[in-house]
Every structure is written in C-alpha cells, then in structure tokens.
C-alpha cells in the first residue's frame, strides 16, 4: 500500500494541503484502497491552526521519516509584503525551526520515499538547507528567494527531481498530486481522478532528461554584463581607491533587522594594495565576503549565511565616521536594515 503523509504546521496554507488530500483520497477510492493518506505533524497528533483565518485541522499522527511512500509539505499563508510575525517568511522560519527540517532531511536519505512540496513548501525545506543544488519550483513571488538559498529555481508548474517533486503556486497542489498518482499508480487511476474532479493537469512536468534547449542569444552592446561592468570600475588613481576603501576598514559590530528577528554580526574589513577583503562572524560561524567592490562610495558584497536560515544575501553599506548603515537583501524579500559601529 502506498502511504501519503501530508505535513501540517501552524500557519500552513489550507489549499496547499487540502487539494492534494482530496486527490489522494479519490485515488484510493479508484485504486481499491491501494493508497492511504493522513495529516501528520512533526510533534504528533494535534489540532493545527492554518494561516487562513485560523481555521483548525486535526492531524492524526506524527510524521514518520522512515515510512516508505510520499511525504507532502505545503506552504504557508500570511502577509506577503509585510515583515512581521504573520508574514510568510516568519511562518516558514518557525516551521523550519521545529523537528520538521531534520525529519525531512532524514526522509530524503531513503530511496523509497518521495518528498513533495506545494508552493512555499519548497522554500521551507530550502531555508533549512535541504535543497541546495537541486532543481525545484515555488510560488512565482518566491522564485528569487528559492535561488538565494542555493536551490536551482525552475519556472515550471511541476518539477520532478526524482525523490523530490515540487509544485509552483497554490493551485499546483492539484497538479503535484495528480502527477504523483500517475507516477506511482499509473495513468488510468490518474485519469479517473481527473474525470471525477473535472480538472486536467497543466503544463509539462519538468525533468532533467532529454535534449537541453540551446541558447542562440548573443550578448549585445546594449545589454548589461555584470562581469564586464564590474571589471573596469575605477576610483581615480590606485591611491584614491585605497583611500575610499579604508573608510570601511576595521572591526564592526552590526545588527541586521530581518523578518525572522535581529541578527548580531561582526564584520572585519581590510584593504591591501587596493584589494578589499572581509569576514562576517555570527556566533561560531565565520564567512568570507564574496566579490566585495566599491561603487558610488558604497561597499557591496555577497554572503552565504546558514543561520537563522540558508540564504545568499547581497549587502550594500555606507560608512560615516564610525557609523555604518545599509541593507541586506535576498531576492524579493523585503530588504533588512543594517546598522553598526566601528569597534576597532
């Protein structure tokens, strides 16, 4: 029997979970109970509050990361543009910081378990560092953020990466579930469910197979090229460049106000022969700046962080004496304000 565990967490999106649940239940009916489906949580049986008007759904069991079958993770429902505790990033972060991340990581190590995600479910896993280097999709508003976690974003309705199957926006839960029914139980059962629901899957399921599409577009002189745009940057003489960079040199205590809380980060910046180098230390983790450059008196660099979530951030800061201000940004997430002071 094929077992489907649909994982609930506080703030989950109702349609992300309910639509696949109904598809799988219909498949069980047509397949003479060759499939069973249940709602579970990382904590065990409990009432789970959704992100849609606080509607509660009862989960009947605890997620079993050893059980063969399908584990489906929905996304969250909350504020899209705000950055408070009810925002989608904050809800996903709280879910990520439960036992769920470890359980899904454990399940990904089993060849007879398929992890499926709907909408922001892939972001939840990616924020926990589980999708680095893997093709996946999420809601179109989160595609840039998905890429910032180290996953490989694919603009498709459904992405099949073997034991990871992800769906895009909210209604893609229907497509993900129908595709998995076809993949696991065959096309005739999937077709029967489609007829029952009067719904047909949309788009081509993306898989990394077959002939790759070629790119025939050659760069033109009017198109921006990051590599060539950065390379010729100059600041007058080499002495001028060192002088401008030196205003950032030193050790800085900074605070980054993110949607998931304030981060205390120590920055160490130095300039030698016009070459800028830097390190960021958070707790016991120290990370080197990636491609630090000066542009219009601002210091810009990228940084891959793992705490509190896995993200590739772009920093842009100004220095005024011993005071530093700026932003840290990942994809379309609201920019986080950075403030700091030089301590040495």
Residue-wise pLDDT for 79-92, tens only, equals: 887 678 888 988 99
pLDDT, the chain, mean: 88
pLDDT above 50 for 307: yes
Q: What is the pLDDT of residues 5-31, one digit of tens each?
A: 999 999 999 999 999 999 999 999 999
The pLDDT-based confidence of 148 (bands split at 50, 70, 90) is: confident
Identify the CA nearest to 4 among candidates 42, 139, 23, 103. 23
Q: What is the pLDDT of residue 97?
A: 92
Distance of CA 103 to the CA centre of its chain: 17
CA count, 13 A, side-chain hemisphere, 75:
30
Give the pTM: 0.74
Identify the CA nearest to 203 among candidates 154, 251, 247, 237. 154
Dihedral sign from CA coordinates of 141, 144, 148, 153: positive
Lowest average pLDDT, out of 29-33, 74-78, 186-190, 310-314, goes to 310-314
Lowest average pLDDT, out of 41-45, 279-283, 319-323, goes to 279-283
The pLDDT-based confidence of 234 (bands split at 50, 70, 90) is: very low
Q: What is the pLDDT of residues 57-77, one digit of tens each?
A: 999 999 999 999 999 999 999
The rounded radius of gyration (Å) of the Cα atoms in the chain is 23
pLDDT above 70 for 266: yes
């Amino acid at each position: 029997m094929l077992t489907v565990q649909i994982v609930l967490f506080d703030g989950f999106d109702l349609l992300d979970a309910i639509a696949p649940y109904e598809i799988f239940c219909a498949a069980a009916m047509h397949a003479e109970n060759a499939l069973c489906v249940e709602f579970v949580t990382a904590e065990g049986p409990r009432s789970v509050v959704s992100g849609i008007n606080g509607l509660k759904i009862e989960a009947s069991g605890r997620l079993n990361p050893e059980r063969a079958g399908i584990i489906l993770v929905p996304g969250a429902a909350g504020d899209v543009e705000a950055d408070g505790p009810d925002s989608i990033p904050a809800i996903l972060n709280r879910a990520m910081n439960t036992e769920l991340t470890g359980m899904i990581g454990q399940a990904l190590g089993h060849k007879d378990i398929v992890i499926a995600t709907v909408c922001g479910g892939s972001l939840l896993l990616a924020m926990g560092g589980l999708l680095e280097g893997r093709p996946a999709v999420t809601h179109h508003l989160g595609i840039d953020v998905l890429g910032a976690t180290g996953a490989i974003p694919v603009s498709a309705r459904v992405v099949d990466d073997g034991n990871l199957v992800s769906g895009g926006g909210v209604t893609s839960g229907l497509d993900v579930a129908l595709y998995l029914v076809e993949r696991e139980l065959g096309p005739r059962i999937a077709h029967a469910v489609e007829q029952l629901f009067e719904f047909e899957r949309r788009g081509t399921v993306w898989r990394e197979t077959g002939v790759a599409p070629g790119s025939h577009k050659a760069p033109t002189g009017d198109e921006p090229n990051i590599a060539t745009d950065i390379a010729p940057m100059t600041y007058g003489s080499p002495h001028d460049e060192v002088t401008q960079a030196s205003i950032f040199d030193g050790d800085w205590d900074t605070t980054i106000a993110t949607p998931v809380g304030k981060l205390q980060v120590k920055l160490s910046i130095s300039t030698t022969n016009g070459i800028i180098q830097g390190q960021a230390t958070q707790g016991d983790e120290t990370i080197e700046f990636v491609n630090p450059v000066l542009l219009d008196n601002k210091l810009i660099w990228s940084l891959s962080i793992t705490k509190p979530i896995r993200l590739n951030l772009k920093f842009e800061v100004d220095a005024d004496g011993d005071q530093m201000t700026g932003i840290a940004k990942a994809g379309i997430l609201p920019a986080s304000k950075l403030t700091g002071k030089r301590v040495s």
